[in-house]
Structure 1
Amino acid sequence: MGWSFKVHGGIALALSVLFLLSAVLAWMPWSSPSAGMTWPLAAGLSLPVALAAVGRVLLTRADKKTLWLAFRCLPGRLQAVLGVLAVAGVLMAVIGASQENNLQTDGVKDGRSYVYDTTPLHRGRVEVSSSAYADVLRREQRSLLPAFGAVLAGVAYAVFTAAEVRQADARSKRTHAT
């Protein structure tokens, strides 16, 4: 496996762990939500890594079966880490999303905190206290950040399997050339 694949997959794994840990911290009552990761930042960090991974997989021209077989060639510990991160991210996202939450953060302007109420018949921007705003921010982090963590575990899977396919293709060309 080439070093660029290792670096790319490592970045995806590190971001996955970062997002999952940020979501775990959002469940802790003593943690400050402003110190945690927000979903726009998570999306900004995830998008380039994910797009590059999609490009790498497309360049291999491998089908789903080949990618699965390549995944099976990865070390067992790496397979386990990828699986645990993906499952943990999905479970945490489902649990976070199952909490009833009709409020979304809308920002802080001039020292005032605003949320957007999505309750039917009450839609609109509402000013709330800073503690209520922090609670809404925590709820958002609980449901959105684990989803990014699960997606980035999938991105790491794609990068590492693309590396295995590329490595197998290189071995095949060497054996056919001799």
Structure 2
Amino acid sequence: MTVLIVFATIEGQTEKIARFISGVAKNAGFNTKLINTDEMPGHVSIDDVVKVVLLAPVHERRHPESFEAFVVSNRDTLRKRKSLVLSIGLKAAFASGREEARDYLNEMLMRTGFEPSATALVAGAVKPENYGYFEREILKHVVLLGRKIDPQDGVREFTDWDELTSIAIDFLGGTGRANRL
């Protein structure tokens, strides 16, 4: 049984999360196939796939175009399998931002016309070495407004790996608890 893990990444945190989920799936007895939508070959066979995990980061209120294009172009095939969509973003790290993070996920699902079996919000990371001056200022004065987190302090992960493990195991085991977020 194979779990397909499809991801897009901008700064690398989502790829790290995808590889982590692959490890959880392997430990649960599944084979895994990872696909980065920015490096995707022309056609991907998913005949042997029983479950699909789709994950992408949110930047400027949107998930990457390559990710949304993959979901749209494979929507009918994806609907035939149990699926989990993980939306990765900083807003998900804070109680005051979770509603907005949920809106980003819902907007992406409306744009793509895809209805997954389960969804979850996952906190991302701050990786200032990838940001220019304007990105750092937006991060500091908009995204992290009022929080004592300075992008100049370096990389800061907000991903809750224990929670992510629970979400993945729940999905792989069929409990469906992922929608609780």
**If the length of structure 1 is used for normalisation, what is the TM-score?**
0.26
Q: Which has the higher strand share?
A: 2
In our comparison, the structure showing a higher alpha carbon Rg is 1
Give the TM-score, by structure 2 length: 0.26
* Larger relative contact order (Cα-Cα within 8 Å, sequence gap ≥ 6): 1
